[in-house]
Structure 1
Amino acid sequence: MLRRLFDAAVSAADPARVVPAALPPRPKGRTLVVGAGKAAAAMAHALEQAWDGPLQGLVITRYGQAVPCRRIRVVEAAHPTPDAAGLAATRQMLALLDDLSPDDLVIALISGGGSALMTAPASGVALADKQAVNDALLASGATISEINTVRKHLSAVKGGRLAARAAPARVVALLISDVPGDDPAIIASGPTVADPGSRQDAQAVLARYAIDAPASVRAWLDNPESESIKPGDARLAHVDTRIIAAPGLSLAAAADVARREGVAPVILGDAIEGEAAEVGRAFAGIARHAASAAAPFGRPCVLLSGGETTVTLRKPLDGTARGGRNVEFLLAMCLQLAGADHIHALAADTDGVDGAADIAGAIIRPETLARAAAAGLDARIFLARHDGHGFFEALGDSLVTGPTLTNVNDFRAMLIV
């Protein structure tokens, strides 16, 4: 059942389902498509299938996630660390936005992962310096909101700059949200959305996590020109931003499946953040309570949640750290449950990739720790190494979906039977 719930959550965010209904009318002038993210190619394909007029453009997606398009060029680049392919494609995308008129329409297809894929470092900041800051933030335990605060101020495209470049054309931005709270200014670092944050906020994030930023980054953030596009900017007056898929909608779809199968769904929230292992231990307590006679909703039930936890890598590491936040969550939860009866759980990233491995997540059962011990696997050691993938692969409990071509963040389901 857990896998059916996950599949329902992913299906609810399928671009083929959500893009066509959100498309604007044809303009008097040209229609240009731009965008980036793990779902960008699938979104572009869905748009092409539904659009009845002339069309051209360019979108950037993660390596291995391209979808063939006839009129929109699809470029693959690196995620989560930007690379030269993403830089070249972003520069080409920006060039497409020059010399547009008020009669033209720009459709921006934005999804999770777009912040790394759509990369154009600000003036004087080398790509290598931006990569270094990005990698340090990813390993620091900073939230996605904090990371994107820095990214916006080191970019020529984020923080509303993409839409500002397209002015005076009309811009319709279609967003698939992968962030807690569905804030359009955070999704892919808000390339079409005004940014209320400041360069001082970006500097504060670097200081908070003791990031030793390169000199070019420090110098740029000291420069007032590093400010992003602010609310009220006239260049954003003709921008229409629409969230067409989001974690909450996917949790609701999973809840519908549970009801049809006679299991009471309880949605705990779609914006849960925190250190993955700590959240896993806390959720173990929630699951134990749900399994007790005192729980108000009875059994069977399933506790659903979404959001984005973080993993702070503790050093020194021995090179085995392969675990993403979902398997880290499950490993810590499993240890806290210590084989408690009646509790099963799944945690996975809806894009099909949890961390650096091409594995979506994993599943735990009451017998997981006993099976691990029989196989000579010490779950505590794997957790200390941040190697959740190694642990669950050895047990055959990994969840492998391949790229789903969408992304509404993490999906967690705890089934109490």
Structure 2
Amino acid sequence: MDIEQLSRGTDTIWVVLTAAMILLMEGGFALLEAGFVRQKNAVSIIMKVFVDIAFGALVFYAIGFAFMYGKDEASLIGLSGFFMGGDLTHLSLNISHDTYWLFQCAFVIAVISIVSGAVAERIHFRAYILYTIFMTGLIYPISGHWIWSSNGWLAKLGMIDFAGSAAIHALGGFAALAAALFIGPRIGRFGPDGKINIVPPSNLPLASVGAFILWFGWFGFNSGSTLSATNDNIGHIAVTTMLASAAGCATCILFTMFRYRKADPPMVINGALAGLVGITAGCAFVSDAAAILIGSVSGIAMVLASEWLENRGVDAPVGAFAVHGISGSIGTIAVGLFAMPGTSAYSGLLYGGGWHLLGVQALGLLVVAVWGFILTWLVLKLIRKFQPVRVSRDEELVGLDIGIHGVPAYSQEHDFLDIEKLRNS
């Protein structure tokens, strides 16, 4: 075996393993969201995660990958590689196209999972399946093409987004905001006089385990984006990822102790995730100190954004927009400030690189945010013409587990269940 074959084999193993780590994050999303919502909706959360994986993979295989990475003369959308066939020779990779698809497939599944939490406890299951098809087949692949395809127009301008603060998290966060606004708050979440009614999480230990799984998977998310097991930067990427997430978590502990007189567990959980989201764009390009700053700012901004949304009557059961939309925005802009010389084509403003990179990052963020928000709103309006987007009042009150899926998550108080009666009630 020559050196080239060994390198290709090693890189293939690395990418497949990190793709598996990212896919494991779906278990984290499932536990996190199931812990944050009420018991009567835990099964519905799990079912949506299965939809993310199953439909997301199939749709991305059929059309999404082609739109994202296919050949493109206009810098707008790929037009080759449907069903992984056709011409993909323009992809300069040290791994096979199949291996690359697997890694990118894990990313697309993560995008739709962000939106899932924003509409928890009230979206209709059939409507969610349809939205998943649009997100994984069109919305994410097209904007992802602009940023990550070698011929994408934002890539040509010099936009930097190493593992997806903008392409994945800001897109998913602003799509989540649009979906939450479109579908409206849960029954009783806000009183007629504007009073905010707290919906306590059903199982914070479960949510915490979900966050730990996401934390673990994020090392695959960021480090795996090197696409090479021999990349000298893997260690630095892992360190900045760890420091930013720790800073986001620690800052939320201290900030909520100061603000609420006690450390707020859901905020602390989301603080770690906010730090992870914030560092995802620049993990390969910023210093350790910058990573700590990015994580800290992301954590505080997440808390303030959560309060801001709640005060305006926006119901976000798991904080999808505050965690992904806000922190993704911070991380994207931070690259324009803190990118170190020699790590990319352009340096950040604070390293003497001028305003070019910061301007491109801001433009790219604006485009992705508007694209995700507007396309989600339009797609949900289209779906509503054929299928109710929100469950009925009775289904929401009894819970989606029984109302939609016909089975409760926790049934230890029963010896037997009349499933037919539950499904038809």
TM-score by length of 1: 0.28
Write 1 or 2 for the structure with the bigger share of helix: 2
Q: TM-score, normalised by structure 2?
A: 0.28
Q: Which has the higher contact order (CA 8 A, sep 6+)?
A: 2
Q: Would you tell me which structure has more strand in proportion to its own residues?
A: 1
